[in-house]
Structure 1
Amino acid sequence: MTIRQTLFCGAAFGIAGLALSAVPASAEEGMWTFDAFPTAKVRKDLGWAPDKAWLDTVRASAVRLTGGCSASVVSPQGLVLTNHHCVIACVQDLSTDKADYVQAGFTARSREDERKCPGQQAEIVTAITDVTPQVKAAIGTATGEALVRAEIAAIARIESGNCTDGATQRCQVIKLYGGGQYKLYSYRKYSDVRLVFAPEFKAAFFGGDPDNFNFPRYALDVGFLRLYENGRPIAAESHLRWNPAAPKEGDATFVVGNPGSTQRLFTQDQFALRRDVIFPLTVPLMSEYRGRLIAAMAGDKERTRTGADTLFGIENGYKVYVGQWQALRDPGFSGTLAANEARLRAAVAKEAGLRGRIGDPWANVAKADAAYRDFYADFYLLEANAGYGSTLYGYAEALVRAATEREKPDAERLPGYSSSRLALLEKQLTDEKPVYPWLEELTLSFWLSKTREILTVDNPDVKRMLGKESPEALAERLVSGSRLADPKVRKRLFDGGMAAIRASDDPLIRFFLINDERGRALSRRYDREVGGQITAAQAKLATARFAVYGDSIYPDATFSLRISYGRVKGWTYRGTAVPPFTYIGGLYDRATGAEPFEAAPKWLAAQGRIAKDTVYDYVTTNDIIGGNSGSPVIARDGSVIGAAFDGNIHSIGGSYGYDAALNRTVVVSSAAITEALKTVYDAGSLLKELSGG
């Protein structure tokens, strides 16, 4: 996990009969907030709906992980269920060339063996409060950059005023409907999160990139963590009951988690910006970076070990972004998006009073996006994605900006540096985790070379960054001379504030200081010409949707707690029926002995003992997106029956819409997890805890 994180959000192509949240949600569509759960709709669609007690228990058991994943508490001792790909960064950080837990797996045989995950924090929602009036009153009639600053100041005041215990609380104001609503989410946070169990990578990601976003699947994508406080496992106030039985076809399922980001409420101009400007820049970059990584790792055992997690993330993100881009270029898909916008516009046009209240927000968005096209590449390369995910660059940025922002009043700081958010930032900065110089040099030289190529050699920002050095030489000098890999150095710089930053001779600190003002200037331009304008327009669009569709419209995903409902159900595509289940025996049939279809040695050793008729993975109609990884899949009786870990290829379009006929959530079953813990991993104590013993 790095300071600068990118959430890869799912999206899809080949969608027919698309439903969007710009119109009332169709059956099984929706990532609903807990304070606006559609009880009547669920009862109509499923014939039953959970009551308040059911919802309260589930909400109090749901966990948000700061690495961009979801999870759930599944025992009174704070045991947490999530995905392997949600803990792989921790597994990688704890591994060495002598003990490679990514390849060998990790099983804590006792509490003393459980290992702390660097930079990880777990958060459980304790309250949701509507603060829309306070934020909108602060914004008033402001526009552009003034609107953004007023919004930031109001949010900072609300967050700091409602969380007085920084050690155990976190407050976050979540913007919904693009600015139509603001909700204060209060969290009970746990900063000591420890690894309990992770299978081998070959078992968790069997099938590799070819099987990613596909089904049938045979993946044990599961991980277990534990929440600690004051050096001891917590006594959980709420937890989900483990159910070792697999569901049956047609059974109702609920997915509770934190979907990362969707764009279902976007306008046609916003979709066009992504199709014509954003993806043509970002997709080729990801492809080339992936190629450079693979070439650098080829034939080098240590680089292969230390770069595997980065490559995994890039390959996943590349597949998603390509899918999103294809979706927006598909005539049928884009035609449905356009038709839904036209339907809303027509409804607004019929209501003179509504039209008079909102004006023409579509035109305002179009104007903002036209401005953004002029400087998107500069903003992306020099600010929004500067460093291209380099851990050391992320440290330099966070240290410099934390020092700068802490000298300002809370309400005037950049987002992410308010007092309510500094505790997590400090944790991520000062926790010890490995840094790999070869990977840092490769990443920084890639970013610098592509920035020079895209912005051109004569660009003044490029000249200021590179001087007379080549991208490769500059990257080597910055990485080899920096001491930011040492958490003690980072701690001294963080504690020392601006005086320590100014006195530092660390080349990465000096390099970031040279470029910081340009990045800030681009951010201010974005706020002035784009962000503030779009927030104002989206608030008006929200007013229009509420007036036309009432409360049947759910907000776009924002990496905040949501619940979706569905059923265990396969699908039919181009005349071929896809059954909803796979079974453990299918793993051995699919295994070829060669990557990525090479079965893990422990699974091969257990082949004669394991129950091959156990449901391994299954699919449901639940509406999810990236960020839902690790979400518990919950049965009608409130028990957990698996963990969501993927979507099928059609669900990649979930960023823009939902198709009940094709979109599917892919789940690793609790039945398979139970069987694997018993037969493959001899994890008796973990099984006993799950069963309540």
Structure 2
Amino acid sequence: MKRTLITLFLAVTVSFNLLADEGMWLPSLIHKLNIKDMQADGLQLTAEDIYSINKSSLKDAIVALDHGSCTGELISNEGLLLTNHHCGFGEIQAHSSVEHDYLKDGFWALKKEDELPNPSKSVSFLVRIEDVTSKVLEGVNEKMTESERQKAISKVGNDLITAAIKDTHYEAKVKNMFDGNKYLLFVYETFRDVRLVGAPPESIGKFGGDTDNWMWPRHTGDFSMFRIYCAPDGTPADYSKENVPLKPRHFLPISLKGVEKDDYAMVMGYPGSTDRFKTSWGVENTMEVTNSIRVKVRTEKLRILKDYMNTSQKAKIQYASKYARSSNYWKNSIGQNKGLKKLHVVEDKQEIENAFAKWVAASSERKAEYGNALSLIANSYKNNSAQIAQSYFIEGLIRGPEVLGYAYGFTRLEDALAKDDKEKIKKNVARIQKSIDDYFKDYDAATDAKLLASLGYIVKENVDAKYLPEELDVKSKKDLEKRVNKYFKKSMFGNKAKLEAFLENPSQKQLEKDPLYTLSRDVISQYRELAKQQKESVDERTKGRRLFVKGLLEMNPDKKYYPNANSTMRVTYGTVKGYDPADGVHYEYFTTLKGYIEKYDPKNPEFQTPQRLIDLYNAKDFGQYADKDGTVHTCFISDNDITGGNSGSPVINGKGELIGAAFDGNWEAMSGDIAFEHKLQRCICVDIRFVLWVVDKYAGATNLINEMTLVK
């Protein structure tokens, strides 16, 4: 074999030879793939202690928040739930007002009657996982188009879901694994009465703000607490005063022993999305299109939001959650592009592709099955003007101003009015009236008009004119500002009183004449047209990726593979350790409360430190939560594999005890969703002892401490 071919195969082996710290493993398969390695690293549990459908196991203490946006864990026998502060930020903000600013001051329920309901929040427990690949793929073949294939898969999947939840209150999903080469059925039990119990002030829960986001060293007390309620018989129920705290099948005991370097650490949760099988063409597209457009548009969006938030306390409360959601992946995209370039990920992917191509070429059978895989993927990224336009539409018009999405939500009412269906008209009006107060509570029309004009002009300047709605056909930004201001003046969608008056006597004619409603229809219509224009390319890419991943699995039969994250429960394992981010620089594996004092800057809103925390620190009032070194450890890092969705995930020691809650990744490894970087990638976690210190010593919520099982 030629030396170049050996080198290429070694590149593939290195890239896919998974170490203990890489991998988002399915809990139902760790008994086959991982348990021996996990136990060798320090795990003292069995595979069934982690995942079991017959007895209580760790999986029964882990929940998906809002069907996968974050993760939480049960920490008491009374349904007490721990997650991140940023995972509860929307609820904290929604309950806040100028009179009761829980963002600024924090919130603590010292008795259960004080806990705050959140009608739209839910938690889902995993009941079981079933491999249904053979059933799903039984009726498909390579002669099918991608649309035909997906239609057949969806039909079988829906039938499997129906059968799985028959005569139960469960929910189920069939999820695609390994780019369509494997399918699993996930069954869940979802609870809908979830009440806010406790949250530290932003000066603890969001300490460091955007500056420290995705960074290490970190000192953020990123946690909040909720409680799950159920009907008296233990089943899920909507909020009711008659509901009772849930008695979970399992909850996590909490270790007060702390962590040391090289300690075993396991994370269980619901990672949202990774793309470790992405090709070099896909990586280039992510950098040049997705991330670049997101950064460009959101930089302007965040500027406009911040300008308004700086005008008053009310304005800050209104837009705090919206700003946080937008800024999080704005900064992530900046860091990811830097990481992908610095770590030469495109070149690494190209080596894998070259090795794959040589492997395919060595066999006529492989050429017949996989010969077109890479060319299909490469071709799918060519002539991407429609995709670029669609990305600008998403960031600038759909996720930019709120008014277009809100107005478009009236299409169902328009349809009912057109048909003069009085029953549907009544239902739609009632639906809108139910949510109108919440919408306008956190909405400023003048700010939204600025967003529409400014972001709309960015779209106009960067998108081929043939894709633009006629409303954006202007000569200058000033012209668009005038047009948008005129629209808002005439429209009812930026004015609560006008909208309420319309709902009293809704008219199809009035709705169709509304300029912002018309614009929303035009934007969504054009967005859908852009999606249609990309269908052929998307189908090519889907087929090419399916064949490429299938080929890689066949090419390396002795490798242990894990599927990309897709908001299903995963287990990752590794160790507590620091890292060296640059030449001559070493980061320790933990931080302490001293960092709050050192970073404190009274002139910087991101680095405010509560006076009570300063007083407790100076008095060294650490209680039972101090480390053996005499300090309170605030955060620590491990080499666990995580991504978005893992926020709030429990970090568990070898005995199955809670030692922290994961809340972030580190800046140097922002490329990790696409390519895991063993030397640099770290999981940032809030130390559970710091959490308890804040709850007990800072907040005085000893009622919550008394619920927990503490292990000394």
Fold equivalence (TM over 0.5): yes
Q: Pick the aligned partner of 2:550 from 543, 554, 562.
A: 543
Structure-1 residue corresponding to 2:608? 598
- Contact 2:360 / 2:370 at 8 angstroms: preserved in 1? no
Change (3 A) 1:473 1:158: farther
Aligned-partner residue type, residue 610 of structure 2: A
Which residue of structure 2 aligns with residue 380 of structure 1?
391
User: Which residue number in structure 2 is paired with residue 323 of structure 1?
Assistant: 335
**Mean Cα deviation higher: 95-104 or 591-600:** 591-600
**Residues 1:365 and 2:390 aligned together:** no
1:664 equivalent to 2:671? Answer no
Contact 1:591 1:597 survives alignment (8 Å): yes
Residues 570, 303 of structure 1: CA spacing in aligned structure 2 closer, same or farther, 3 A cutoff?
same
Instruction: Provide closer, same or farther for how the CA distance between residues 20 and 102 of structure 1 changes in structure 2, counting only shifts above 3 A.
Output: farther
- 1:312 Cα offset (Å): 2.4
Query: In the aligned structure 2, how far is the partner of 1:97 from the partner of 1:300?
Result: 10
Relative to structure 1, the CA distance from residue 135 to residue 445 in structure 2 (aligned partners, 3 Å threshold; closer, same or farther) is: farther
Letter in 2 for 1:172: K
- 78-87 or 277-286: which moved more? 277-286
Matched with 1:307 is 319
- Measured at CA, do residues 629 and 242 of structure 1 come closer, stay the same or move farther in structure 2, by a change above 3 Å? same
Say if 1:520 and 1:335 are closer, same or farther in 2 by CA, change over 3 A.
closer
Bigger CA drift: 318-327 or 379-388? 379-388
Return closer, same or farther for 1:479/1:354 CA change in 2, 3 Å cut-off.
farther
Change (3 A) 1:203 1:164: same
Give CA-to-partner distance per residue, 1:425-463, whole Å, 9 cap, x none. 99997995643124443443344332222236x546320
| Superposed counterparts of 1:578-589, under 5 Å | 578-589=587-598
Aligned partner of 1:54 among 45, 49, 57: 49
Confirm or deny that 1:215 pairs with 2:216: yes
Distance in 1, matches of 2:41 and 2:486, equals: 59
- RMSD between superposed Cα atoms in Å: 3.6
Residue 652, structure 1, aligned to residue 660, structure 2: no
C-alpha separation in 2, matches of 1:525 and 1:138:
28
Q: Distance in 1 between matches of 2:71 and 2:13?
A: 24
- 1:575-608 Cα distance to aligned partner (Å, 9 max, x none): 2221111122332233233322220233134332
**Residue 73 of structure 1 pairs with residue 66 of structure 2:** no
Percent identity over the alignment is: 23
**Deviation sequence 1:468-504 (CA, Å, 0-9, x none):** 9835643774598446998xx99x99xxxxx998995
CA–CA distance in 2 between the matches of 1:265 and 1:479?
Answer: 49
After TM superposition, the structure 1 stretch with the greater mean CA deviation from structure 2, 536-545 or 477-486, is: 477-486
- Asked whether the equivalents of residues 602 and 681 of structure 1 are also in contact (C-alpha less than 8 Å), the reply is no
Matched, 1:568 2:586: no
Offset, 1:346: 3.1
Residue 333 of structure 1: which of 335, 341, 345 is its match?
Answer: 345
Shift of 1:40: 5.0
Report the secondary structure of 1:261's partner residue: coil
Residue in 2 aligned with 1:470? 480
Q: Secondary structure at the match of 1:606?
A: helix
Report how far residue 35 of structure 1 moved. 2.3
**Cα 1:501/1:674, change in 2 over 3 Å:** farther
Indicate yes or no: 2:112 matched with 1:103: no
Equivalent runs, 1:151-166 vs 2, <5 Å: 151-164=153-166
Map of 2:144 onto structure 1: 142
Structure 2: how far apart are the matches of 1:339 and 1:548? 15
| Partner of residue 563, structure 2 | 555
* More off after superposition, 446-455 vs 675-684: 446-455
CA distance in 2, matches of 1:18, 1:649: 25
Counterparts in 2 of 1:156-235, with a 5 A limit? 156-164=158-166, 168-229=169-230, 230=237, 231=240, 232=243, 233-235=245-247
Deviation of the 1:548 alpha carbon: 1.9
CA contact (8 A) 1:130 1:183 kept: yes
Q: In the TM superposition, what is the alpha-carbon distance from 1:176 to its structure 2 partner?
A: 1.6
User: Structure 1 pair 280/48, CA: closer, same or farther in 2 (3 Å)?
Assistant: closer
- Give 1:154 shift: 4.4
- Tell me whether 297-306 or 265-274 shows the greater mean CA deviation: 297-306
Say whether the 8 Å CA contact 1:437–1:480 is kept in structure 2. no
Distance 2:121 2:215 in 1: 29
| Counterpart code for 1:556 | N
Deviations along 1:147-200, whole A, 9 cap, x unmatched? Answer: 44444444444434533479x432222222222222221111112221111100
Q: Which amino acid in the other structure matches residue 339 of structure 1?
A: E
Letter in 1 for 2:389: D
Q: Aligned to 1:445, which of 435, 453, 463?
A: 453
- 8 Å CA contact 1:18, 1:657 repeated in 2: no
* Correspondence 1:519 to 2:527: yes
Aligned-partner Cα distance in 2 for 1:427–1:649: 44
CA distance, structure 1, for counterparts of residue 149 and residue 433 of structure 2: 31
Bigger shift: 553-562 or 347-356?
A: 347-356
Partner of 2:627: none
Instruction: Write out per-residue CA displacement over residues 242-274 of structure 1, whole angstroms, 9 at most, x where no aligned residue.
Output: 223312221100011111211210111111222
Shift of 1:564: 0.4
CA 1:375–1:18 in structure 2 vs 1: closer, same or farther (change >3 Å)?
Answer: same
Report the CA distance shift for 1:572/1:530 in structure 2 as closer, same or farther (over 3 A).
same
Distance in 2 between the 1:637 and 1:48 partners?
Answer: 7
**Contact 1:344–1:545, Cα closer than 8 Å, also in 2:** yes
Q: Which residue of 2 aligns with 1:631?
A: 649
* Residues 362 and 307 (structure 1), Cα distance of their counterparts in 2 relative to 1, 3 Å cut: same
- Counterpart of 1:687 in structure 2 is 705
With over 3 angstroms needed to count, the CA separation of the structure-2 counterparts of 1:647 and 1:328, relative to structure 1, is closer
Cross-structure match for 2:540 = 533
Q: Deviations over 1:308-341 (max 9, x none)?
A: 2222233321211011222333363332232233
Gaps of 5+ in 1: 1-16, 406-424, 494-498
Matches within 5 A, 1:268-279: 268-279=280-291
Amino acid at match of 1:600: P
Q: 2:19 is matched by which residue type in structure 1?
A: S
d(CA) in 1 for partners of 2:382, 2:44: 45
Which range moves more in the overlay, 68-77 or 84-93?
Answer: 68-77
Q: State the secondary structure of the residue aligned to 1:541.
A: helix
- Cα distance in 2 for partners of 1:479, 1:248 equals 61
Residue aligning to 2:63: 63
1:513 Cα offset (Å): 3.6
The one-letter amino acid paired with 2:616 is: A
Maintained 8 Å contact 1:245/1:670:
no
Residue 256 of structure 2 is aligned with which of 217, 227, 244?
244
- CA 1:181/1:446 → structure 2, altered by over 3 Å: closer, same or farther? farther
TM-score by length of structure 2 reads 0.82
Query: What does residue 416 of structure 1 align with?
Result: none
Aligned to 2:426: none
Q: Would you say the 8 A contact 1:580–1:618 is kept in 2?
A: yes
Q: Is the 8 A contact 2:60 2:248 kept in 1?
A: no
* CA shift in 2, pair 1:136/1:397, >3 Å: farther
For 1:244 and 1:485, locate their aligned partners in 2 and report how far apart those are by CA, in whole Å: 53
> 1-side partners of 2:176 and 2:662: how far apart?
25
1:514-535: CA deviations, max 9, x gaps? Answer: 4444333333333x21332222
- Unpaired runs of 5+ residues, structure 2, are 1-9, 52-56, 231-236, 417-430, 623-629
Q: So what's the TM-score if we normalise by structure 1?
A: 0.84
Q: Which residue of structure 2 aligns with residue 610 of structure 1?
A: 621
Deviation at 1:635, TM superposition (A): 0.8
Per-residue CA deviation, residues 603-642 of structure 1 (Å, 9 max, x unaligned), is 1343325326122111111011121110000111111111
Q: Which entry has the higher C-alpha Rg, 1 or 2?
A: 2
Q: What amino acid does structure 2 have at the position aligned with 1:524?
A: K
